[in-house]
A and B are shown apart, each in its own frame.
Chain A
Amino acid sequence: AQSVAQPEDQVNVAEGNPLTVKCTYSVSGNPYLFWYVQYPNRGLQFLLKYITGDNLVKGSYGFEAEFNKSQTSFHLKKPSALVSDSALYFCAVKRSGGSYIPTFGRGTSLIVHP
């Protein structure tokens, strides 16, 4: 079984400040972890993934995420938020091996204020 939780429905941050969008997961075995972003009236776009290796993963648009096995977390971060980062963010997990069916979180709305 696999599951993912995004504990915050909405995150508010001022432009220029660092941002964090939280994600915790539960999976048997090793996880594959993903972050996607959805802009209004658009499909999801892949941001970054963790498969194995370095715990800090860098992705598109200056985003990065840190895999923490002991805390079963994969929080999305950016050092300096932009208004254009305002969107809906989804975390997803898949158990290594097995079928190609990831489980998505419910999404976190990020609002960056000017």
Chain B
Amino acid sequence: NAGVTQTPKFRVLKTGQSMTLLCAQDMNHEYMYWYRQDPGMGLRLIHYSVGEGTTAKGEVPDGYNVSRLKKQNFLLGLESAAPSQTSVYFCASSYTKRTGGLKGLFYEQYFGPGTRLTVT
């Protein structure tokens, strides 16, 4: 399995340009997430999805849009890039599995390798 993949790995945009980041997972996970990581800020959730066709806002959604048309893909769009969106973006997916009782519930996330975006 490839796990969680992200494209592109690097990108430089000019202010006002648009772009789409693609996340793909081959683990049949229901849940997918987009985070941004900035120095000293840890991980901040941008948007997430609990299943195909559904999306929801996270902690820092402004300036971003997402779509989950297929279960395996989660797209993050920047309509008009701003320098404040310079960051490293991580996609993640997770699953739940019942094997009986509480011990059967798993929530760990699988992360992609990241996309380093610079907006000038």
Contact = CB atoms under 8 A, between A and B. Distances in A.
Interface residues of B, number: 27
Interface string B79-120: 000000000001010101000001101111111111000000
B42 A105 contact: yes
Given A44-B90, A106-B41, A32 B107 contact: yes
Most chain A CB within a 10 A radius of its CB, from B41, B106, B111: B111
Contacts of A114: none
Contacts, number: 60
B50 interface: yes
B75 interface: no
B43 interface: yes
Interface string B40-53: 11110100101000
Interface of B: 4, 31, 33, 40-43, 45, 48, 50, 58, 90, 92, 94, 96, 102-103, 105-114
Interface of A: 32, 34, 36, 41-46, 49, 51-53, 90, 94, 96, 99-102, 104-107
